[in-house]
């Protein structure tokens, strides 16, 4: 029992680390896009006195650009074995998670800029780019991995019982085991072996034992 738990733990953490490394690289590219667009708009890249010239509007535009980049990276590299044929639904769900992460970014930036009064460019970058992005990244990874690109939502058509079982063990299984479980047909139950009929019990033959004394 202990060996099975240890093997499951090693498999889980090995798969998790692999996804985290890929997700981190894609997220790093998205961070560069986010950082560049955000600061370009703040310094007047599109002019002043418009919706995108303020910190919140600039952050929305920067996250939108980074979301498109990271969706391509996660779909075709990080979680490529779990991408779905219905890419429109996948993109919509990806966008919902991205917008939710954006709210975390904006909350951190709003609290720093308008509540604490840290209005400098450096303070906006620390609160919006580092603190907010850190919390938003953890949130997005969890939902991308186990909802948008969860292996229990893949291509395989399985019955409701298999889906429920896969969803229950998804956090403990690696991808290969989950896909094998989803694609393997149910093995038919072996027929019960016919029991041989009970042999009649024979009474001892008193005559064979000789006369009683």
pLDDT of residue 156: 37
In DSSP terms, 47 is beta-bridged to: 45
CA distances from 84 to 26, 88, 99, 184, 204 (A): 19, 9, 21, 19, 75
Q: What is the pTM of this model?
A: 0.53
Rounded percentage of the chain residues whose pLDDT exceeds 70: 64
User: Confidence band (pLDDT; 50, 70, 90) for 9?
Assistant: low
State the residue for tokens 């998205």: 30
pLDDT per position as a tens digit, 11-49:
666 677 888 899 889 988 988 998 999 999 888 877 777
Query: Is the confidence at residue 114, as pLDDT, over 90?
Result: yes
Domain membership of residue 143 (yes or no) is yes
Q: Report, as an integer, the average pLDDT of 144-155.
A: 76
The answer to whether residue 51 sits within a structural domain is: yes
- The alpha-carbon radius of gyration of the chain (Å, integer) is 30
Q: Alpha-carbon distance 107 to 56, whole Å?
A: 10
Whether residue 209 lies inside any domain: the answer is: no
Averaged pLDDT for residues 166-193: 54
pLDDT at 3: 62
Domain assignment of residue 181, yes or no: no
Residue 144 maps to a domain: yes
Distant-in-sequence, close-in-space partners of 206: CB < 8 Å, separation ≥ 6: 212
Tokens standing for residue 4:
């099975």
147 or 156, which is more confident? 147
112, 122 Cβ separation under 8 angstroms = no
Q: Residue 99 is part of which domain span?
A: 2-149
Task: Tell me, yes or no, whether 212 lies in a domain.
Answer: no
- Write down the pLDDT at residue 89: 84
Residue 164 CA to residue 158 CA, distance in Å, equals 10
Question: For residue 58, what pLDDT band results from cuts at 50, 70 and 90?
Answer: confident
Residue 18 lies in a domain: yes
**Mean pLDDT across 175-186:** 58
Q: How many domains does the chain divide into?
A: 1
Residue at 205 is within a domain:
no
Instruction: Give the per-residue pLDDT at 161.
Output: 40
């Amino acid at each position: 029992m202990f060996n099975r738990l240890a093997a499951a733990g090693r498999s889980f953490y090995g798969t998790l680390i692999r996804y985290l490394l890929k997700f981190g690289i894609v997220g790093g590219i998205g961070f560069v896009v986010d950082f560049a667009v955000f600061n370009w708009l703040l310094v007047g890249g599109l002019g002043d006195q418009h919706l995108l010239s303020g910190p919140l509007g600039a952050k929305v535009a920067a996250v939108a650009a980074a979301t498109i980049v990271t969706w391509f990276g996660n779909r075709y590299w990080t979680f490529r074995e779990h991408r779905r044929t219905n890419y429109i639904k996948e993109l919509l769900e990806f966008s919902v998670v991205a917008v939710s992460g954006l709210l975390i970014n904006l909350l951190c930036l709003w609290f720093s800029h308008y509540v604490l009064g840290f209005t400098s460019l450096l303070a906006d970058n620390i609160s919006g780019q580092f603190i907010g992005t850190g919390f938003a990244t953890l949130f997005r990874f969890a939902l991308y991995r186990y909802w948008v690109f969860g292996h229990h939502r893949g291509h395989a058509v399985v019955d409701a019982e298999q889906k429920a079982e896969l969803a229950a063990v998804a956090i403990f299984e690696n991808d290969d085991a989950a896909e094998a479980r989803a694609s393997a047909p149910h093995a038919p139950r072996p027929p019960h072996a016919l029991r041989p009929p009970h042999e009649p019990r024979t009474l001892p033959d008193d005559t064979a034992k000789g006369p009683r004394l």
